Chains A and B, each alone.
Chain A
Amino acid sequence: MNWRGDIHIEHVMPPEANILRALGVPPGHAVNNRTREAVAAGLEELRTIAEPRGVFAGVAESEFASIYEGEGDNAVPSPLAEIFPRADELALFAVTLGTPVSERIAELFTSSEYALGGALDAAASEAAEMTASHVVQTVLGKVRHAGRATDETRALGYSPGYCGWNLTGQRALFAALDPGAIGITLSDSCLMEPVKSVSGVVVIGPARIHDFNDDYDFCAECATRDCRDRIRRITELDV
């Protein structure tokens, strides 16, 4: 189960509300026209210059166990260590929006176009996450198409740097997947370039295998707690 290719930008264009939230505007808060115009302009820039593409490759549980172990820096215990052995299938993935987006953001800040630069940055961050979600669902689609899914089969992505999976895990992940094929490189500090990129593992199986309490030591330092939303979203699909 391998795939690599371009993703149509319209599949990953974030809604205005997501960008406003990323810019710190509370949901439902009225914003002025100038803010709305900056967000619209940021979205248009994104539509014009983003080059979303992705890659994924199926991986056996034993192989992923080694990848996950990485350099031995993960938190112990961690949710993913308990989740992935219960998966029906696993796939490594990486996505990127390409270099031009990052270059344009830098250019806008250099030329004092801060609001547009901020809007494009927020839009690109959201789009990168949506590109990752798109690829996660593409993996699930492949599994379904191959007749290996049941009604309760779901897919959820996990990334190094989150939920106890140490960022240094990127090295083993990159060695196994080769995201360089879609233009992503990894720095010595495990930073992906272009910056608007996401990598990780797609865990495929029933929604219930993802259920965990957010009371690990590292959860206290997590500002988003978006694991709750992610788990709820795939669980609600079961209803």
Chain B
Amino acid sequence: MSTLEAIASHLERGEHDEVRALTETALAESLDAVTILDQGLIAGMQIVGEQFRKHEIFLPDVLMAAKAMNAGLEVLEPHLSAAEIASHGKVVIGTVKGDLHDIGKNLVGIMLAGAGFEVIDLGKDVPPEKFVDTAAESGADVIGMSALLTTTMPGMRAVVDLVKERGLDGSVRTVIGGAPVTPEYAAEIGADGYSFDAANAVECVKRLVEES
């Protein structure tokens, strides 16, 4: 088994210490950092994501794999340029204004990072302007919004409207999710995508980035 295959394999099992050590080994073997990222860490997380989507593994396994991914990334980051890290796409995520539920949003961020996206996590209770300003300033491809309360869902519409108002709707796509959110609501407010869980959010963002 090559070092890259070993990284992916240990990552799948959530063995963060082994992933960290193998990533250092791969660098010592003069493997390119982008190759280690793509063919080791992201390859491992892609398998994890696929297994999760098929219900072959469950959330705790994904979370442990994500920690292993982070362990490898910490080793790689000094060797990667910002452009290389962002090569798969850049996503701004947050929980909309008034909403403090962030576990679902955190999971989406973890899964997106595992799929190779650069994630800018604005946290919770995020005003519409902050979503849009950050996306514009960072050159993000997608804004992902989460809400767990029916009372805060209008915050999603405010972001979608502001993206259009600023003339960014050609370059910044919007995706929404959260327990009370439906595909019909996404269509009603003019969001570009809707996702029903973290794994689906990755698929949705991939599709939006490919389309843009």
Interface residues of chain A, those whose CB is within 8 Å of chain B, are 23-26, 29, 31-32, 34-35, 38-39, 105-106, 109, 112-115, 117-119, 121, 161, 166-168, 187-191, 193, 195, 221, 223
Interface of A is mostly: loop
A-B contact pairs, 27 of them (CB 8 A): A23-B59, A23-B60, A24-B58, A34-B14, A35-B64, A38-B60, A38-B63, A38-B64, A39-B60, A112-B66, A112-B70, A114-B66, A114-B67, A115-B67, A118-B59, A161-B149, A166-B150, A167-B150, A187-B98, A187-B100, A189-B98, A189-B149, A191-B99, A191-B149, A191-B151, A191-B152, A221-B180
A39 contact set on B, CB distance < 8 A? 60
Chain A's nearest CB lies how many Å from the CB of B53?
Answer: 12
Bits for B92-110, please: 1 = Cβ < 8 Å to A, else 0: 0000011111110011001
Judging by beta carbons under 8 Å apart, are A24 and B151 in contact?
no
Closest to B151 in A: A189
Question: How many residues on the B side are at the interface (Cβ–Cβ under 8 A)?
Answer: 29
Judging by beta carbons under 8 Å apart, are B60 and A191 in contact?
no
7 nearest A-B residue pairs (beta carbon):
A189-B98, A114-B63, A35-B60, A115-B63, A189-B151, A25-B58, A112-B70
Contact of B61 among A35, A109, A121 (CB under 8 A): A35
Q: Which of B17-61 contact A (CB under 8 A)?
A: 55, 58-61
Contact of B64 among A25, A115, A189 (CB under 8 A): A115
